[in-house]
Amino acid sequence: MTNSVLPIVGVSACLYKADTPKPYHAVDDKYLRAVAVSSRIMPVIVPALGDLLDIPKLVSRLDGIMLTGSASNVHPDRYNTPPSPEAEPYDPMRDQTTFALIKEALKQEIPILAICRGFQELNVALGGSLYPQVSDIPGRMDHSSPDTKDMEIDYGPNHSISIAEHGCLFNILKSNETKVNSLHYQAINQLGEGLIADAVAKDGTVEAISMPEQQSFVLGVQWHPEYRANDNNTSKAIFKAFGDAVREREREFS
């Protein structure tokens, strides 16, 4: 790279122990490491502070946004569905932060990579909805984690997805199919405005989304490409494409 100053990507954090005297904001190492190593850009953590953040100014100083996965889910109020035990746990401060980030990033044409919960946030922020438990839907398989406590098994390839030729993911992978891990129990019901399904599982579950009418890079994936991203060709290609989009955006505004 000719420029020694790396582009900066904001990485969404979660708020943990919000109801205790010592709440904290955190992001799993694997997300930050994937951005730094596989995208070759600089990650900075965006705390889940909601209205305390000046989102338009923050986004104007970033070159990209990555929305991470989480143990928490988007609150059902966000997609006009009654809260239920199967949709828990929630992180309302993260919702408040990431929904504002998404809308402002789209407005300012900032590249977005959205993973798992982030994928669902992107959909709901644009007016879409979710299934609280995809395995409760007739004909759908169980997409949740094997939960063996062995990362190589839990994050290992689980099922194939079919990739549509008109989408962003096909342009990245140049393939109609790939195999992905599966660690989610919620899934997209109705797509948000402007989004298309880039990939689906064999049971019809949407696995990737993009926004063809948006000039900037926008890709959401339901699985976890961040785990050991450089060891998986699909993951490596996704993070490289995101990094390339971020660098292009940074060059345009530098």
- 67 touches 112 (CB < 8 A): yes
Measured distance CA(223)–CA(69) in Å, rounded:
9
**Dihedral angle at the C-alpha atoms of 126, 218, 205, 187, nearest 10 degrees?**
-50
Amino acid identity of 81? T
Measured distance CA(142)–CA(137) in Å, rounded:
10
- The one catalytic residue in 121, 207, 226, 250 is 226
Measured distance CA(171)–CA(81) in Å, rounded:
35
- The one catalytic residue in 75, 143, 184, 224 is 224
CA distances from 214 to 59, 169, 189, 217, 241 (A): 17, 15, 22, 7, 16
CA distances from 59 to 67, 77, 110, 136, 152 (A): 13, 26, 8, 38, 35
∠ at Cα 67 (204, 197), nearest 5°?
25
Backbone angles phi, psi at 32, to 5 degrees: -65, -40
CA distances from 12 to 9, 55, 196, 219 (A): 10, 12, 23, 15
- The one catalytic residue in 75, 116, 121, 207 is 116
Assess whether 116 carries a catalytic annotation. Answer: yes
Assess whether 14 carries a catalytic annotation. Answer: no
Assess whether 159 carries a catalytic annotation. Answer: no
Contacts of residue 181, Cβ cutoff 8 Å, sequence gap at least 6: 154, 155, 156, 157, 158, 223, 224, 227
Pick from 183, 204, 198: nearest CA to 122: 198
Q: Which residues are catalytic?
A: 116, 224, 226
